[in-house]
Amino acid sequence: MMKVERFFVCALFAIATLLATGSASAQSPLDGTWHVMLNQAKFSPKPWIFYLSQGWYHCVTCNPTIDVQADGQDHVVSGQPFDTMSVRDVDATTISITTKKGGATVYEETDTVSKDGKTLTNKGIFHPVNGGAPVTSSGTSARVGIAPSAVHATSGSWRADKVQASDNGLTFTYKSNGDEITMTDPTGDSYTAKFDGNDYPVKGAYGWDAVSLKRTSKNTFEETDKLAGKVTGVSTITVSADSKRMTVVSTDKITDRTSTYVAVKH
């Protein structure tokens, strides 16, 4: 699951959970530093649906759904990796969103619709737990269906099209030690786990706090991510025979979206 996969509200919570796996061998083909190639990603065709009407913002496809006043103030939300959310109606074509956890800013986002109403441009900034360098992202989504009437122009159903992100949100490193694998990334997410299907703690992350790993074949692995005991994502990771390319089929269990990503070893 990628941080850039959850467009709009959840856009940057999953990059560190994208490929959190490795081999139990000391000569693992996964050892080293990897980089996600977003130009080769295949995003879920399932659209995000939200609308802003009569001073309220409603995220229909968020799970649980989110309904907050669009007054630029922090409002409490539940069941998310953040605990407050503010939405501001910037102008007729733009809204801004900020999420926080414990008073600390997690994610800032600006959504702007094109003049013809068919394209939504998103710009975001994710702030890591440890206070490290923010991850910046940008992307576009295509409108699905007809634009709704009597609501803000950004409202409607949107399918993620193109996404870009800074390198610190697309890079991760694995290192094996005996029967354990350690994952680290520039945002501060990390864990050390074995391939025994048991849960192991994840440190420095908002969107997940535990991971379990299983090997299903020589070069294929399954990762399950959890938050507060609830499964948030399951990924199947396949490494090429030359150990230079990794393909990940990632299913977000919260929003029921499956996307495919490719990473190459540096």
Q: Domains, the chain, ranges and CATH?
A: 12-40+170-265 (2.40.128.20), 48-167 (2.40.128)
> CA-based angle 235:160:249, to the nearest 5?
15
Res 20: pLDDT: 38
Q: Rounded to an integer, what distance in angstroms lies between the CA atom of residue 238 and that of residue 217?
A: 9
CA dist., res. 220 & res. 104, Å (int)? 38
How many C-beta neighbours within 10 Å does residue 144 have?
A: 14
Mean pLDDT of 61-73: 97
Q: Model confidence over 86-141: pLDDT tens digits?
A: 999 999 999 999 999 999 999 999 999 999 999 999 999 999 998 889 999 999 99
Q: Which residues contact 185 (CB under 8 A, 6 or more apart)?
A: 15, 16, 168, 171, 172, 173
169-225 pLDDT tens trace: 999 998 988 889 999 999 999 999 999 999 999 999 999 999 999 988 888 989 999
Cβ-count burial 63-102 (b if 16+ within 10 Å, e if not):
eeebebebeeeeeebeebbbbbbbbbbeeebbbbbbbbbe
Q: What is the pLDDT of residue 28?
A: 73
The residue written with tokens 């192991």 in the block is 200
Kindly report each contact of residues 76-82 with a partner whose C-beta sits within 8 Å and lies 24 or more positions away, as own/partner. Answer: 80/9, 80/10, 81/10, 81/13, 81/106, 81/206, 81/207, 81/227, 82/106, 82/107, 82/206
Per-residue pLDDT tens over the stretch 126-164 = 999 988 899 999 999 999 999 999 999 999 999 999 999
Sheet containing 180-184: order of strands: 190-194, 180-184, 171-177, 32-36, 257-265, 245-252, 230-239, 220-227, 210-217, 200-201
The 8-class DSSP code of residue 16 comes to G
Q: Are 249 and 32 spatial neighbours (Cβ–Cβ below 8 Å)?
A: no
